[in-house]
Amino acid sequence: MAMKDELKTVLLLCPQRMLEDHQVLESLHIVKNAKGTTFINKELDATELKVNYDQLPKPARELLQQFSKANINATIGQVKQRYTIKRAGIAYEPFYRNAMLRELHGTLETLKPFAILSKWFHKVKTEKGNYRTGPCVFSVYKPQLQFEVVKEPAGLELRTTIVLNNQAYPLQEFTRFHFLLESRNEYYLLAYKDFQTLEWLEQQKPSQYSKDPQGLAREILGKLEEDYPVNRNELFEQKAIDVAPVNRVMLSELSNAFLMLTPQWLYDGFLIEGPFKESVEFNRHGEVYRINRNKEAETQFTQLLESMHPLFSKQMNGYFYLAFAEAQKKQWFLKAYHKLLELNIELTGMDMLQHFRYSQHKPETLMNVLREEEHFLIMEVKVSFGDEAIPLEELQKILLAGQRTIMLKDGSFGILDDEWLQQFGAIFKHGKLNKKEMKVSKWMAFGEQRNGETVQALKPVLADGWRQRWVKWQEPDSTLYPVPAAVNATLRPYQQKGFEWMQLLAEAGAGACLADDMGLGKTLQTICFLAHQLQVNPEAVHIIIAPSSLIYNWQSELLKFAPGISTWVYHGSDRDISTLQNAQSQVVITSYGTIRSDIDHLGNKQFGVVVLDESHNIKNPAAQITKAVARLQCASRIALSGTPVMNNTFDLYAQLDFLLPGIFGSREFFKREYADPIDRFHDEGKIQGLQKLTAPFILRRTKNQVAKDLPEKTEIVMWCEMGTAQKALYDSIRDNIRSSLFLNIQSEGLNKSKLAVLQGMLKLRQLCNSPLLLPSEDRTCTDAVKTEMLMDELSNNLKDQKVLVFSQFTSMLDLLAEACREKGINFFHFDGSTPPAKRAEMVEAFQTEGNTTNVFLISLKAGNAGLNLTAASYVFLVDPWWNTAVQQQAIDRTHRIGQTKNIFAYKMICKDTIEEKIIQLQQRKKQLAEDLVSEDEGFVKALTEDDIQFLFS
């Protein structure tokens, strides 16, 4: 009897056709009879699905139909139309290829949950070139990537591992068809981001860095670690912290019945508690720190606490506790408290204790200046509660630990109230103690004088005549000093005040930081001060130190406003130090780089005034330039900066320490007392304390306050609506970043994820500018709405107007330059790599009346300070930054003294993107920066998890 045909219908996966004709899925009819087995391929059209796949749910059938020839061809047409490349010279194929892969991936990913409802076969090409057809499985498991660096004889090797159902397998065990992985006839679908990562790795060739650990970490691992776990196997240098721990006890109450003492350790500011581990890793500002814990020191401290009460030896929970009654028996708590302080052990948490009583006495403070020593006062001090005098070292330790209560001999707590802290807190924290004497920076007397809360003991520091002039200076219509005869300028009232302020502080021996808004004439005010100093001492030689791009600007301004003052530029490879020693010039102008190189010679010369322009160049106290500048010998010091705080509060330390030696104490003290509480926790009390301390020495006026005669400045948001292709790419990349970012936050915590947040934001901001700023593997289109809108404005509406165009990304400026060439628009263009002389030449040409080059493309960082570009009346910020102070500096290249036209500043913002959300968050978080000195680029540090959710939504 003849065998009847036996028919079985399965889904046929053809992974190697993914880019050939995109027919990845077909229907396969397997016919078995006496003659053998026959395979017949069928298209997944409506008829085939109705006849042979009717048992599948409707959503599954609809997804399968996407693989029919008609639907594949329709998708091809849509992709070609969407991603057609209009710009000449750009290859079309990669964008089309990536777009089709993304479309196929999306459909397969949606289909994956239904995969178990059907039988699967696959058809793959063998090594011999023929095709093999056989059964397979389309797995529902989600593969995940992780990486490991190992050391081999040939050097470092990066290994990729696939994790499936918590089991790890080398990538080499799989055959990869783009985003499909196959092993033992089972297929796994990579996340599209993971597929792109593997493609990127193949292009980058990590093996080229096998002998270059720094290059591998920088170029490969750093980027991988944004999204994936990477086991470095301790083959790379970490910033190891090997310091002795600062012992600390956290006091708290347990169950409203017990006093609890928790041992803690501070390793260079990193707080650690709990069971001992050899090392603990922290991520600070994106860098990995390994805290090597000191077991011996921690054990000694724990044993010390354990020895303080018999009950403690039986407690093994990592903390120690006593019933309230037991803690107070025989004044145990009082004795333990004093013993811990005597041993330099920090105490914290006392303010939160509810059970222990407080003293009825208020603190009484007596202070008397015994003598002056250079920049310091030596004072006799006594603080008491009732009849009990408080040891000064004990009081200082309590204050430095952030506490405001001190235990008295009767077991009660003395309270250092707000009034006492406001008047004396900073003095005690900053002071250096020696028995009953305290050494305090004399600059603190200025702060008390400025705020009208003068401590009686500090009054003699400032001479009566000086204090009278200081009070008179604060009267709005008073004039203390006439403009020097050598200056050919009429000063505005606020400029007169700025010049007089510098002179007043110089008379008192103090330095001054003039932090006016850009464009308000800091240069002119400084020239007036220098001219006044030359009137007093014509033999003095003053030095101005500026970024190299501004050296000739200073020379030009001095020639303009004070032509009688002789100047000399000491800069360039042909400079001669012997000529400087013998120079007769009254003002020497040089650069930070020159000072760093020649400080061994310049440090031996006595100057009258040292002026630091753009003083944030010395914000890093450990930098060679900061150390070099500190070696300069001079009578007076001036710092000029529109943004003395650029990144964080610590930026102030080196600048103010240069102006007022010793004002902040040690770096560690300033960091712990001010910088960390302000930057990490936005501590309002610390902000006010720092402002009180520095206010006399930092003068900041905004245009709104003082320059009412400036023409109007109009700031406009230019909303840019992305096209379909650019928006689709944005949404896809944003979703990938968001999903990986919040997984990272869940596993690593918010603090360790801040670098990933910053990198994710950067990538989306680049995409808002142009997809061409992204790595090639991420691009599916080149549509750039900002370029199109800007070129339209420059070609049509503003072709006869002078325009400044700023971008943070030099590569974006390069794209805009190319677009200008295509449109026939003449332009100037400079960034950080442009030589100073060339910059000056372009600025002068742009400013010259009749010059027809109307567009100036400028790097935000290279062009945000010192330039005078008043010929322009339009400014475009292509990629607004969260540091609005930097944005304002860019706008102020044209909106400054000497401008006669109305200014229009356009912030180009892509609608419904991270740029719009950054603007909204700027408004929410604006107050902190304004409360200090200037707006703070530490925006990312202040983000909460809710903020991050909002940004990436």
Task: Report d(CA 538, CA 530) in Å as an integer.
Answer: 10
Task: Report d(CA 110, CA 25) in Å as an integer.
Answer: 14
Closest CA to 845 of 802, 879, 786: 802
pLDDT value at residue 457: 59
Return the CATH fold of 713-951: Rossmann fold (3.40.50)
Residue 384: which residues within 8 A CB-CB, separation 6 or more?
363, 364, 390
pLDDT value at residue 777: 81
Residue 371 pairs with which residues in a beta bridge? 378
Q: Is 181 helix (H, G, I), strand (E, B) or coil?
A: strand
Closest CA to 939 of 525, 646, 548, 501: 646
The position carrying tokens 């760093």 is 596
Per-residue pLDDT tens for 881-910?
Answer: 766 666 777 777 777 767 767 787 888 888
Task: Give the phi and the psi of residue 643 in degrees, each rounded to 5.
Answer: -140, 75
For residue 705, the one-letter residue type is Q
Closest CA to 587 of 644, 538, 650: 538
Tokens representing 284 are 């600070």
Task: Report d(CA 356, CA 690) in Å as an integer.
Answer: 32
Task: Report d(CA 673, CA 687) in Å as an integer.
Answer: 10
Residue 381 pairs with which residues in a beta bridge? 367
What's the pTM value of the predicted model, to 2 decimals?
0.53
554-572 per-residue burial string, b: 16 or more CB within 10 A, e: under 16:
bbebbeebbeebebbbbbe
Closest CA to 467 of 484, 450, 481: 450
Closest CA to 207 of 150, 156, 147: 156
Q: Is 255 helix (H, G, I), strand (E, B) or coil?
A: coil
Cα 783 from chain centre: 29
Neighbours of 141 (CB within 10 A): 13
Edge to edge, the sheet with strand 542-546 lists 567-569, 587-591, 542-546, 606-613, 633-640, 512-514, 698-699
Q: Taking a C-beta distance cutoff of 8 angstroms, is the pair 717, 909 a contact? A: yes
Helix, strand, coil shares of the chain as percentages rounded to 5? 45, 25, 35
Closest CA to 333 of 313, 299, 356: 356
Task: Report d(CA 272, CA 870) in Å as an integer.
Answer: 55
Task: Give the phi and the psi of residue 748 in degrees, each rounded to 5.
Answer: -105, -20
What is each CA distance from 549 to 552, 612, 761, 802, 836, in whole angstroms? 7, 14, 31, 22, 4
Query: Which long-range CB contacts under 8 A does 651-654 form with residues at least 24 apart?
Result: 651/616, 651/619, 652/619, 652/690, 652/694, 652/933, 653/619, 653/621, 654/618, 654/619, 654/620, 654/621, 654/626
pLDDT value at residue 866: 59
Give the total residue count for the chain: 953
The position carrying tokens 């978080």 is 925
pLDDT value at residue 937: 41
Tokens representing 301 are 């401290």
Tokens representing 630 are 């500190």
Task: Report d(CA 521, CA 239) in Å as an integer.
Answer: 43
Residue 907 pairs with which residues in a beta bridge? 717, 877
Tokens representing 502 are 């510098």
Q: Taking a C-beta distance cutoff of 8 angstroms, is the pair 779, 772 a contact? A: yes
Low pLDDT (below 70) residues in the chain: 1-3, 82-95, 283-288, 357-360, 447-460, 518-519, 549, 581-583, 646-647, 680-681, 707-711, 797, 862-866, 882-886, 897, 900, 922-942
Task: Report d(CA 653, CA 664) in Å as an integer.
Answer: 7
What is the DSSP secondary structure assignment for residue 358, as one 8-state letter?
Answer: B
Residue 646: which residues within 8 A CB-CB, separation 6 or more?
616, 619, 883, 885, 886, 934, 937
Query: Which long-range CB contacts under 8 A does 752-755 form with residues at least 24 apart?
Result: 752/282, 752/283, 754/283, 754/285, 754/286, 754/940, 754/941, 754/943, 755/226, 755/283, 755/285, 755/286
**The CATH number, out of the four listed (3.40.50.10810, 1.10.10.10, 3.30.565.10, 3.40.50.1220), of the domain defined by the range 463-705:** 3.40.50.10810
Tokens representing 784 are 């750039």
Closest CA to 449 of 441, 458, 440: 458
Task: Report d(CA 318, CA 120) in Å as an integer.
Answer: 57
Neighbours of 739 (CB within 10 A): 14
Task: Report d(CA 794, CA 802) in Å as an integer.
Answer: 10
Task: Give the phi and the psi of residue 821 in degrees, each rounded to 5.
Answer: -65, -45
Closest CA to 400 of 688, 693, 679, 671: 671
Task: Report d(CA 179, CA 348) in Å as an integer.
Answer: 54
Q: Taking a C-beta distance cutoff of 8 angstroms, is the pair 363, 414 a contact? A: yes
| Residue 143 parent element (H or E) | none
Domain boundaries, the chain: 1-138, 142-237, 241-352, 363-441, 463-705, 713-951
Q: State the Rg of the chain over Cα.
A: 35
